Amino acid sequence: MAFYCWACYGRNDHTTGACVHCGHEISPPAEATETQRLIWALRHPDPDVAIISARRLGAEGNAEAVSALREAIDRPPDPYVAGEALHSLLALSTVDNEKQLLERLAAGGPFMLRRQAERALAAAPASSPVADDGEAREAGISGVAGDSGVGV
């Protein structure tokens, strides 16, 4: 079983103690909240873990995750992670707040994100929160995540 370093994501074969790559403690700090652990896992080397974490951050509803989700969309470790992150970002934020990001994605993002962004922009008139994300969820990548066999 592999464990990944809290500091550098390096792979280790022990659960606690010094990382063989960076020398830092590999386990999360005791005070790390569930949200902070999920934010960390957005960059997990296993994309399945990252996708599940992106999804959970949206379900958890903690606005602390907003900037990490934006970053996971802008510098995605994996396109499926980005799709799930965008979905969760829209659950935590509003189309209005994310307008620049959405317009940039709609104009030239990866295909999957482009469509998701177009739908979000079309569904929500300016200055109103995302009314119902049911449609976005359908249009999103939930089916793709299912295809990859991710169990949550």
Binding stretches for Zn ion (CB under 5 A): 5, 7-8, 10, 19, 21-22
- Indicate the Cα dihedral angle 115, 121, 124, 127, nearest 10°: 150
Q: How far is the CB of 21 from Zn ion (least distance, A)?
A: 4
The counts of H helices and E strands in the chain are 8, 2
Element (H, E) at 136: helix 134-139
Q: By the 8 A CB rule, do 68 and 43 touch?
A: no
Smaller CB separation from Zn ion, 10 or 47: 10
Smaller CB separation from Zn ion, 18 or 107: 18
User: Under DSSP, is residue 23 helix (H, G, I), strand (E, B) or coil?
Assistant: coil
Q: How far is the CB of 57 from Zn ion (least distance, A)?
A: 23
Smaller CB separation from Zn ion, 26 or 105: 26
User: Under DSSP, is residue 18 helix (H, G, I), strand (E, B) or coil?
Assistant: strand
Smaller CB separation from Zn ion, 19 or 139: 19
CA distance 86 to 82: 6
Q: How far is the CB of 28 from Zn ion (least distance, A)?
A: 12
Q: How far is the CB of 2 from Zn ion (least distance, A)?
A: 13
